[in-house]
Amino acid sequence: MVKIEDLKRINLLKDFPDHLFEILAKEAQLSIFGTDTQLISVNEDMDTFYMLIMGQVAIKIELTPEIDVILDNIQSGSFFGSSALIEGSIATYTAICQEPSEVITLSGERMKQLFKENHELAYHMMFGIAKQYKKYLDTRALMIMKTLDEHPELKEDINDIENLTLVI
């Protein structure tokens, strides 16, 4: 069980009604992980949803055996592992604690059961996750457009540049 005050520190949950915090608090677990603890590994079943109270977690993929690409550095108040809420998901990245981290975990299986029982909980969770993904995609699109502005020669090779711009 997790304290409701801890759940309220998570950005995803900031607009949740109080009665939904009670449901999550009963299901969630609080864990403390040390630096370099690997929470998610590529090709493993995604079975846990994570919310970071304190610390930092790197989300990365291996480009070559010598080179890792960091896709994101998850900060306090953020979440990751939302694929655990989708049946049959397999990890496409590795998540490693960059410093000691305090993490709230929720079982993906249990959350899917709760979603069937409580549609309001499902709505609020999935709406928050969708907002975060839109934010990530908007940021990535802006990065691509900035790169193309700095390297106009690349634009010649792109067939469908209109599809790279943001849809608001």
User: According to the model, what pLDDT value does residue 68 have?
Assistant: 87
The domains located in the chain, with CATH, are 4-151 (2.60.120.10)
Per-residue pLDDT reduced to its tens digit, 57-106: 999 998 888 888 898 999 999 999 999 999 999 999 999 999 999 999 99
User: According to the model, what pLDDT value does residue 137 have?
Assistant: 85
The angle formed by the CA atoms of residues 150, 151 and 154, to the nearest 5 degrees, is 145
User: According to the model, what pLDDT value does residue 167 have?
Assistant: 44
Per-residue pLDDT reduced to its tens digit, 138-165: 887 888 888 888 887 777 766 665 555 5
User: According to the model, what pLDDT value does residue 164 have?
Assistant: 52
